[in-house]
Amino acid sequence: MKFELGIIDWTAVSALFTFLAVLVALFYQPFINRRRLYLETSLVINPKNHEHSIGFTVTNISAGPIWIVSFGFLYKQEEKVIVSFLGNAQTPKLLQPSEPVSFSEHSILENLEDIDRFFAKDSFGKFWYLNRKNKKQLKEQIEICLRNNPKRVKVVKPLLAKPK
């Protein structure tokens, strides 16, 4: 067996590139057709009372429609992780390609400092979360909301004494 740098075995190169072309042909189309959602948050200011809130947007960036079953956020109370669902009137929702769905709810403001992450769940049971850039942006938006919103006072109703 002899190895020379100047001589190229074109049949071996041709076989290698044919194999690579077959791999691309088999796996490229399913890669293009995969389901993908893009989640982002935004700062929403109520013009009436200048109260800041966080808006939540989910956009279908795949080639086909996707059923969204639920939206929500996770927050921590002591050692527990609690789920709060958003947009109950809007779910389940069929998102067409490039179609966004947005909402802002004031229930977010009650647990603003404890928010861990936002999510969207599709009909296949897959959870979609914010990417790293949007997580950082969410932390900045939470800080803005906490600075600019008046402190909320939780009203605790006194227990009524039972009649004797």
Domain-by-domain residue ranges, the chain? 37-148
Q: What is the predicted pLDDT for the residue at 162?
A: 56
- Domain 37-148 fold: Immunoglobulin-like (2.60.40)
d(CA 10, CA 16): 10
Q: Is 134 helix (H, G, I), strand (E, B) or coil?
A: helix
Give pLDDT tens digits along the chain (164 positions): 566 666 777 888 899 999 999 988 888 877 777 888 888 888 777 777 767 777 788 888 888 888 888 888 887 777 787 777 776 667 788 888 888 888 776 656 666 666 778 888 888 888 888 888 888 888 888 788 777 776 655 545 555 555 55
d(CA 153, CA 139): 23
This prediction's pTM: 0.64
**Residue 128 to residues 22, 60, 68, Cα–Cα distance (Å):** 32, 11, 10
Contacts of 28 (CB under 8 A, 6+ apart): none
Q: What is the predicted pLDDT for the residue at 106?
A: 61
Radius of gyration of the chain (CA): 26
**Whether the Cβ atoms of residue 70 and residue 120 lie closer than 8 Å to each other:** yes
Does a cis peptide bond (omega within 30 degrees of 0) precede residue 97? no
Q: What is the predicted pLDDT for the residue at 150?
A: 64
Tell me the sheet residues that pair with 57: 40, 102
d(CA 147, CA 150): 8
Nearest of 11, 29, 41 to residue 129 by alpha carbon: 41
**Token reading at 30:** 């399913």
Q: What is the predicted pLDDT for the residue at 111?
A: 64
Q: What is the predicted pLDDT for the residue at 21?
A: 92
Q: What is the predicted pLDDT for the residue at 18?
A: 93
